[in-house]
């Protein structure tokens, strides 16, 4: 079943804003791909039990797509491009990239509003679960749990011992307790045309929104499990097991004895943006089930 891939033809998006070197710097991004925290233990078991019935009723991802309304919040240090005030063209290109990536999985995205906020503390320090992140999302969040709030920040000052992030997200089953904390937070320079090469084609948004829809990493493990030995994994049958995240674009990588090469082209791995090009049918069915169950989005 490992060939059940929803492959995406990369559109020749006419990026209005080309690659920009901020302050003359175009070095590659040196940080962590994702800061999203997956559930463990009994919480994980309860989630999968809840999703099982919905997944059994969703067997074809190629039906009429659901449309997600997007509220886009640009959080900047100041009103300059260098300070995080990304132009509308980058936001429009990000939405176009998301529609390209998610349409075969049954989702489209509609930008309904963009707002801009100057707050240096939020821009520099809005890491998952901290005071700045909570303040930012509580103040700016709009819509309902069926709507997607995207925030762009700078991640300039990571907590002690941590690296800058590309992004993080909340899961759909966290909506009840999170409320206004729900959403996706992205490094501004990860948008198409940004400076965070090789992560500047917009796939960080695709990856983090994958979590927002209920997807785990392709290399997900259970509690205290080794990657190749896990029987829990990402709860999707058609994503081959891999021994940890893949980086770069290691064609032919095969790190576990189970069937299938590592899913290095999957949006839920850690490879470069240019390497990512698919969700699987199983992932599409899972995300639709999770959106139906927890966000009330009908399919």
pLDDT at residue 186 in the model? 98
pLDDT at residue 60 in the model? 55
Number of helices followed by number of strands (H, E) in the chain: 7, 7
pLDDT at residue 57 in the model? 58
DSSP 254-290: --SSSSS---TTBTTS---GGG--EEEHHHHHHHHHH
**What are the chain's domains?**
24-295 (3.40.390.10)
**pTM, to two decimals:** 0.85
Cβ contact 265:276 at 8 Å = yes
Q: How many residues does the chain have?
A: 299
Whether 208 is a known active-site residue: answer yes
Q: Give pLDDT tens digits for 177-200.
A: 888 999 999 999 999 999 999 999
* List 77, 174, 189, 208, catalytic entry: 208
Cβ contact 154:124 at 8 Å = yes
pLDDT at residue 86 in the model? 98
Which residues touch 52 (CB under 8 Å, ≥6 apart)? none
- Where the chain has pLDDT below 70, the residues are 1-33, 35, 37-63, 222-226, 230-232
Three-class SS of residue 114? Answer: strand
Q: Give pLDDT tens digits for 210-240.
A: 999 999 999 887 655 667 876 667 888 899 9
């Amino acid at each position: 079943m490992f060939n059940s891939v929803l492959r995406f033809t990369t559109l020749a998006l006419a990026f209005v804003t080309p690659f920009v070197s901020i302050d003359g710097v175009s070095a590659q991004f040196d940080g962590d791909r994702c800061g999203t925290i997956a559930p463990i233990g009994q919480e994980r078991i309860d989630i999968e039990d809840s999703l099982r019935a919905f997944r059994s009723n969703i067997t074809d991802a190629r039906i009429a797509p659901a449309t997600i309304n997007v509220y886009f919040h640009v959080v900047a240090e100041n009103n300059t491009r260098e300070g995080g005030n990304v132009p509308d063209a980058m936001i429009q290109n990000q939405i176009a990239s998301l529609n390209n990536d998610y349409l075969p999985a049954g989702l489209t995205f509609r930008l309904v509003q963009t707002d801009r906020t100057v707050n240096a503390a939020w821009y520099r320090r809005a890491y998952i679960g901290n005071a700045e992140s909570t303040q930012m999302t509580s103040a700016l969040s709009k819509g309902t749990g069926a709507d997607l709030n995207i925030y762009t920040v700078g991640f300039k000052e990571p907590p002690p011992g941590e690296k800058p992030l590309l992004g993080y997200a909340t899961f759909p089953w966290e909506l009840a307790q999170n409320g206004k904390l729900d959403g996706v937070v992205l490094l501004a320079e990860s948008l198409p045309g940004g400076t965070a090469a090789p992560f500047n084609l917009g796939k960080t948004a695709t990856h983090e929104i994958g979590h927002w829809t209920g997807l785990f990493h392709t290399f997900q493990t259970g509690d205290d499990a080794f990657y190749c030995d896990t029987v829990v994994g990402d709860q999707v049958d058609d994503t081959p097991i891999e021994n940890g995240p893949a980086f770069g674009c290691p064609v032919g990588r095969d790190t576990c004895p189970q069937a299938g090469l590592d899913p290095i082209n999957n949006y839920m791995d850690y490879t470069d943006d240019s390497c990512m090009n698919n969700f699987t049918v199983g992932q599409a069915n899972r995300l639709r089930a999770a959106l139906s169950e927890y966000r009330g989005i009908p399919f």
